[in-house]
């Protein structure tokens, strides 16, 4: 970590902005935008290529292709190049099971495991470009399977192990994956999640699936279908010890990862190999100052983009040691995480504001019981971090010694876009601000007409030029790709986020500007939730709005109208909650369910969400600042008052 020459500290809070201006960062950022091709080719040279690129960038709006003509392999970057040298005996993965078991994998063990897994996939007929679905708990087999796919040029699609059979089905059907890799179960708060049974339920509706590979975790018996299901250990027994890395094109897809948007159908975000790896490799050096001696722990699930970039590809490309923890943060006791930090000597710790807020509730006794002095740098991701949570994190976890990097990014951006960059130079921090765009990232805050806003004004966050981690496309839906990201502000990438730039040029990320919620940092579209709700036989119409939640950031409020003859009741409310969890997963659990006899709508039939939102958050309609375009103030007020009465009438039932 670079030191502040005045204080000797790793970084400092922005008291008086003593370190201003940031010389090294500003110079690097300026250079990266002046000559992006020169800048990024310099960064790309830090990786090993089988063949260097012919052109740094082909940019045909809205498609960017980086390092065109270059060939490389993601598994080689993350495993082989370390296993070939002294780093072979270095720790790659410290795995900690929820029940306290541990596994430590060196880079040479990882090399061996990945090779066997990749050979096994090849024996099953998997070739370059095939899609493989991974529905696994947080066990070493998950990164091993990802790297094994990358090794042979197969495209992985990881499905978060908290998702339901329906979610697996949607993703497998969309990608036409021919193999699903799962486990006999996973542990969560001491309970077994029956992953194999859930996979079976999905697979009967997914004709593309030829095989299900089952890793051993719980040892419990699970149903196995002959000719389709294979135990991973027996598959590996017969597999070869080594298989060559496929030298794929830089633009070859590394993975597809589904995320929520504004329609009911999640979108498959496609990431490249070369651009994605170059961007992440550089970003983790700038943001986390990550090095081979780093013990690095990102608490996200590998099922989200944070897990892809921050657990697997970026830290392993730097030969760091990662911590992979299987279970719940507060299980069996609320100090489990702090115990893990002390046990492995974690140097860099990266988590979500929701987790921090949960720990704030439990109090500081937990962290104070443990020696957290190994920590040097803290990170936050996924949602805005409120200053109170920031201060607590800084004081009780970082011992007022560690800078906090508040990192803003998205599934689509592939890697961190806006964040302090202590790996370049210490950045004076302002609690709640993600500070500045990374080198190569041309971020701006604009009003509805695309003009840059004045300091302090809220606007939309856009990125004005492509960056190497940018998604390649939406899988199978180029039209949606264009419309979602490139139509609102022509020529620029639209993030869907509100932001504000202050007088000092610091960026403040203010949440989603579209119908997407962030529940405990998980991204979920209101349309997706509404589709799931109306799939229940009792429900006629549904509307979902978000409501501020002290811990989760945002909670789900569901309004439903019921079919004729169905009466609202407490039992039905419970049943609906259960139905939502089953349809999507626990992420989709509504915090509140209201029965109404009709939803407030504009003349053209559009649901007046603002009205619902005002009701959900207990504001008066007079507080509504932005009204639906088509509705008059009067109409909205009438709808609001009417709805309020109907909700209370129904609640009385
Ligand atoms: O609204 C922003 C929020 O998370 C969204 C992206 O969600 P997802 O694709 O699931 O990726 C999350 C992890 C990379 C963004 O549009 N978001 C992410 N990081 C921050 C944030 N909001 C505020 N501050 C952040 N640091």
Do the Cβ atoms of 329 and 337 come closer than 8 Å? yes
- What local confidence, expressed as pLDDT, does residue 629 receive? 45
State mean pLDDT over 435-462. 98
Asked whether residue 622 carries a pLDDT value surpassing 60, the answer given is no
pTM, to two decimals: 0.93
- What local confidence, expressed as pLDDT, does residue 604 receive? 73
Contact 306 CB / ligand 1 (< 6 Å): yes
Q: Buried (b) or exposed (e) across 298-336, using 16+ Cβ within 10 A?
A: bbbbbbbbbbbbbbbbbbbbbbbbbbbbbbebbeeebbb
State pLDDT tens for residues 393-421.
999 999 999 999 999 999 999 999 999 99
State pLDDT tens for residues 358-372.
999 999 999 999 999
Tell me how far CA of residue 429 lies from CA of 9, 386, 421, 628, in angstroms.
Answer: 13, 14, 10, 38
Tell me how far CA of residue 641 lies from CA of 199, 265, 602, in angstroms.
Answer: 46, 33, 15
Strand locations in 440-538, DSSP E?
A: 443-446, 458-463, 473-474, 493-501, 507-512, 516-519, 522-525
Contact 469 CB / ligand 1 (< 6 Å): no
Contact 408 CB / ligand 1 (< 6 Å): yes
Q: d(Cα 280, Cα 314) in Å, to the nearest integer?
A: 5
Distance of CA 597 from the midpoint of ligand 1 (Å): 35
Domain 23-462 is found in CATH 3.40.50.12780: yes
Q: What is the CA 400 to chain-centroid distance, rounded?
A: 27
Strand locations in 160-293, DSSP E?
A: 179-183, 186-188, 191-193, 211-215, 229-231, 248-249, 253-259, 267-272
Nearest to 564 by CA among 538, 541, 542: 538
Contact 434 CB / ligand 1 (< 6 Å): yes
Tell me how far CA of residue 63 lies from CA of 36, 160, 490, in angstroms.
Answer: 16, 28, 13
Q: d(Cα 562, Cα 295) in Å, to the nearest integer?
A: 53
Asked whether residue 135 carries a pLDDT value surpassing 90, the answer given is yes
- What local confidence, expressed as pLDDT, does residue 16 receive? 46
Tell me how far CA of residue 139 lies from CA of 77, 95, 124, in angstroms.
Answer: 21, 7, 23
Asked whether residue 639 carries a pLDDT value surpassing 90, the answer given is no
State mean pLDDT over 550-574. 94
- What local confidence, expressed as pLDDT, does residue 447 receive? 97
Structure confidence at residue 636 as a pLDDT band (50, 70, 90): low
Contact 340 CB / ligand 1 (< 6 Å): no
9-23, 45-59, 393-407, 409-423 — which is least confidently predicted?
Answer: 9-23
Nearest to 539 by CA among 520, 558, 526: 558
Do the Cβ atoms of 199 and 212 come closer than 8 Å? yes
Asked whether residue 632 carries a pLDDT value surpassing 70, the answer given is no
State mean pLDDT over 341-363. 97
Asked whether residue 7 carries a pLDDT value surpassing 50, the answer given is no
Structure confidence at residue 18 as a pLDDT band (50, 70, 90): low
Asked whether residue 627 carries a pLDDT value surpassing 60, the answer given is no
Distance of CA 303 from the midpoint of ligand 1 (Å): 15
Q: Which atom of ligand 1 is nearest to the CA of 511?
A: 1
State pLDDT tens for residues 545-557.
999 999 999 999 9
Do the Cβ atoms of 621 and 640 come closer than 8 Å? yes
Do the Cβ atoms of 114 and 147 come closer than 8 Å? yes
Do the Cβ atoms of 59 and 66 come closer than 8 Å? no
Pick one of 3.40.630.10, 3.30.300.30, 3.30.565.10, 3.40.50.11540 as the CATH number of 517-652: 3.30.300.30
Fold match, 23-462 / 517-652: no
Do the Cβ atoms of 51 and 68 come closer than 8 Å? no
Q: d(Cα 9, Cα 7) in Å, to the nearest integer?
A: 5
What residue segments make up the domains of the chain, in order of their start?
A: 23-462, 517-652
- What local confidence, expressed as pLDDT, does residue 630 receive? 44
- What local confidence, expressed as pLDDT, does residue 324 receive? 98
Torsion over CA of 190, 194, 198 and 203, rounded to 10 degrees? 140
- What local confidence, expressed as pLDDT, does residue 221 receive? 97
- What local confidence, expressed as pLDDT, does residue 151 receive? 98
Distance of CA 409 from the midpoint of ligand 1 (Å): 5
- What local confidence, expressed as pLDDT, does residue 67 receive? 98
- What local confidence, expressed as pLDDT, does residue 626 receive? 46
Per DSSP, 586 falls in state: G
Q: At what angle do helices 274-288 and 36-44 cross, to 10 degrees?
A: 90
Neighbour tally for 401: CB within 10 Å: 16
Burial of 473 (0-12, 13-18, 19+ CB in 10 A): buried
Residue of 163, 509, 516, 552 to test ligand 1 pocket, by largest number of atoms within 8 Å of CB: 509
């Amino acid at each position: 970590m670079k030191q502040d020459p005045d204080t000797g500290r790793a970084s400092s809070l922005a008291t008086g902005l003593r370190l201003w201006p940031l010389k090294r960062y500003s110079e690097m950022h300026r250079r990266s935008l002046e000559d992006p091709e020169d800048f990024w080719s310099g960064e790309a040279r830090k990786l090993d290529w089988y063949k260097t690129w012919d052109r740094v960038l082909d940019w045909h709006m809205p498609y960017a292709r980086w390092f065109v003509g270059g060939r490389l392999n993601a598994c080689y970057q993350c495993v082989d190049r370390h296993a070939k040298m002294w780093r072979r005996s270095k720790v790659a993965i410290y795995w900690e099971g929820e029940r306290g078991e541990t596994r430590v994998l060196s880079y040479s063990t990882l090399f061996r495991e990945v090779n066997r897994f990749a050979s096994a996939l090849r024996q099953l007929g998997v070739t370059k470009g095939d899609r493989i679905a991974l529905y696994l708990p947080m066990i070493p087999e998950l990164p091993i399977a990802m790297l094994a796919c990358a090794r042979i040029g197969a495209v992985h699609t990881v499905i978060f192990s908290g998702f339901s059979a329906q979610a697996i089905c949607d993703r497998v059907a969309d990608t036409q994956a021919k193999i699903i890799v799962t486990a006999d179960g996973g542990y969560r708060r001491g309970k077994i999640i029956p992953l194999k049974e859930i996979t079976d339920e999905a697979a009967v509706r997914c004709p593309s699936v030829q095989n299900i590979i089952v890793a051993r975790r719980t040892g419990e018996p699970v149903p196995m279908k002959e000719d389709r299901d294979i135990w991973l250990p027996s598959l590996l027994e017969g597999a070869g010890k080594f298989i060559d890395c496929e030298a794929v094109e830089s633009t070859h897809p590394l993975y597809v990862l589904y995320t929520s948007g504004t329609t009911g159908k999640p979108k498959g975000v496609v990431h490249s190999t070369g651009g994605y790896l170059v961007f992440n490799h550089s970003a983790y050096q700038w943001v986390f100052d990550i090095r081979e001696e780093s013990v690095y722990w990102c608490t996200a699930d590998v099922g989200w983009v944070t897990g892809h970039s921050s657990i697997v590809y970026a830290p392993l490309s730097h030969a760091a040691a990662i911590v992979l923890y299987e279970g719940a943060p507060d299980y069996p006791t609320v100090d489990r995480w702090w115990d893990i930090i002390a046990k492995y000597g974690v140097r860099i710790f990266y988590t979500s504001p929701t987790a921090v807020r949960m720990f704030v509730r439990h109090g500081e006794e937990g962290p104070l019981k443990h020696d957290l002095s190994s920590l040097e740098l803290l990170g936050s991701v996924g949602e805005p971090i409120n200053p109170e949570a920031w201060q607590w994190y800084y004081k009780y976890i970082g011992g007022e010694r560690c800078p906090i990097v508040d990192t803003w990014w998205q599934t689509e951006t592939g890697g961190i876009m806006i964040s302090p960059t202590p790996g370049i130079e210490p950045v004076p921090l302002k609690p709640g601000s993600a500070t500045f765009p990374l080198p190569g990232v041309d971020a701006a805050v604009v009003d509805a007409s695309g003009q840059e806003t004045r300091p302090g004004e809220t606007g939309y966050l856009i990125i004005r030029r492509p960056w190497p981690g940018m998604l390649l496309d939406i899988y199978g839906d180029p039209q949606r790709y264009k419309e979602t990201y490139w139509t609102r502000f022509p020529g620029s990438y639209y993030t869907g986020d509100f932001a504000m730039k202050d007088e000092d040029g610091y960026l403040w990320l203010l949440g989603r500007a579209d119908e997407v919620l962030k529940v405990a940092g998980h991204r979920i579209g209101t349309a997706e939730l509404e589709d799931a709700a109306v799939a229940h036989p009792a429900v006629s119409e549904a509307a979902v709005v978000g409501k501020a939640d002290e811990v989760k950031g945002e909670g789900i409020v569901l309004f439903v109208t019921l079919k004729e003859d169905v009466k609202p009741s407490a039992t039905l409310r419970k049943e609906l909650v259960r139905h939502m969890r089953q349809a999507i997963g626990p992420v989709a659990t509504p915090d509140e369910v209201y029965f109404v006899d009709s939803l407030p709508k504009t003349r053209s039939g559009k649901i007046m969400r603002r009205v619902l939102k005002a009701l959900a958050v207990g504001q008066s309609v007079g507080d509504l600042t932005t009204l639906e375009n088509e509705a008059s103030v009067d109409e909205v007020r009438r709808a609001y008052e009417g709805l309020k009465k109907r909700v209370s009438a129904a609640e009385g039932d």
